[in-house]
Amino acid sequence: MDWLRQSGAQSRQPRFVFDLYAIFICAVSAKRRRAARRRRDAGCDANALLPAVRALREAGVFVVASAGNDGPGCSSVQDPIALYDDVFSVGAVKRNRSIADFSSRGPVLADGSGRIKPDIAAPGVAVYSSMPDGTYAENSGTSMAGPHVVGVVALIWSANPKLIGDIDATKEILRATAQPRAFTADGDTLVCGDPNAIPNDFFGYGIVDAYAAVQRALGK
């Protein structure tokens, strides 16, 4: 990761947004990771990718991660890199703006932090997306939600280039302009943390609002 540190030192305004939401963690398949968690005797160190993420941040890279599709249980945000404080993690919402059943929730227990995750939510159910064979189809998952937030970060930095590489300021814009959502339990739905707090362990600070974020970036 030395090249990342060098690039950050040479230029504090990198011209890109980096998205790690699709990374394979420690080259272990999802099936094997689930089995490892059940056995509690294998799997990846929760902090395995933390040095890489910190190097990216130091280089002025805004890292977004999909929260995961292990809901509806509490503390299901449990794999690197989504659980890190330095990563902006994204949960998935339905078209009616309720949380998707599969969307992973906090609080984070895998590293003992107890931090609230995800940071924000975005559309992730029946999203019309491109397919490998050149066609289009509807897909669901937090991997559909993550790219929405990556796109909003790109819009923020395009609207106000002074914000490029300013990770804290960009996070604050996303948080401040998100449409806050509390969680309403129905039936036997698990309630994680305080569902009425903002942020909470379902939506984070709320649902991403691209227009409001750009307006905030422009100082309006």
**pLDDT of 20 over the 90 cut:** no
Domain count along the chain: 1
Q: Alpha-carbon distance 86 to 71, whole Å?
A: 22
pLDDT value of position 10? 41
**pLDDT of 27 over the 50 cut:** no
At 200, the pLDDT band (50, 70, 90 cuts) reads very high
Give me the long-range contacts of 2-9 (CB less than 8 A, separation at least 24).
4/55, 4/56, 4/58, 4/59, 4/61, 5/55, 5/58, 5/59, 7/59, 8/58, 8/59, 8/60
**CATH number for 16:** 3.40.50.200
Question: Mean pLDDT across the stretch 195-210?
Answer: 95
Question: Mean pLDDT across the stretch 57-73?
Answer: 93
- The percent of residues above 70 in pLDDT, for the chain, comes to 78
- The percent of residues above 90 in pLDDT, for the chain, comes to 66
pLDDT value of position 193? 87
pLDDT value of position 112? 92
| Strand 120-123 with 127-130, pairing | unpaired
pLDDT value of position 189? 63
pLDDT value of position 12? 45
At 184, the pLDDT band (50, 70, 90 cuts) reads confident
pLDDT value of position 195? 85
13-22, 94-103, 159-168: which range is least confident on average? 13-22
Write out the residue range of the structural domain in which residue 113 sits: 2-217
Whole-number average pLDDT of the chain: 82
Q: Give the model confidence (pLDDT) of 66-122 as tens digits.
A: 999 999 999 999 988 999 999 999 999 999 999 999 999 999 999 999 999 999 999
Omega before residue 14 within 30° of 0, cis? no
Rounded to whole angstroms, what are the CA distances from 172 to 101, 168, 217?
27, 6, 10
**pLDDT of 2 over the 50 cut:** no
pLDDT value of position 30? 44
